[in-house]
Amino acid sequence: MSLTALVQLIFTSLVVAWVIRVIFIVIVLSIAYHYFRQYRQSKD
């Protein structure tokens, strides 16, 4: 296994980890926002 392939593999796994993290954060934020809106509407 060459050094460039190793670097490429590490870089790819880092990018994949960041993409998964961003998608997870977006989903959690949208769910939280949805519940927050329902909570505010039910209070009125």
pLDDT band at 1 (very low <50, low <70, confident <90, very high): confident
Q: How many residues does the chain have?
A: 44
pLDDT tens string 14-44: 999 999 999 999 999 999 999 999 999 998 7
Beta strands in 1-44 (DSSP E): none
| Domain range summary for the chain, segments of one domain joined by + | 1-44
- State the amino acid at position 4 in one-letter form: T
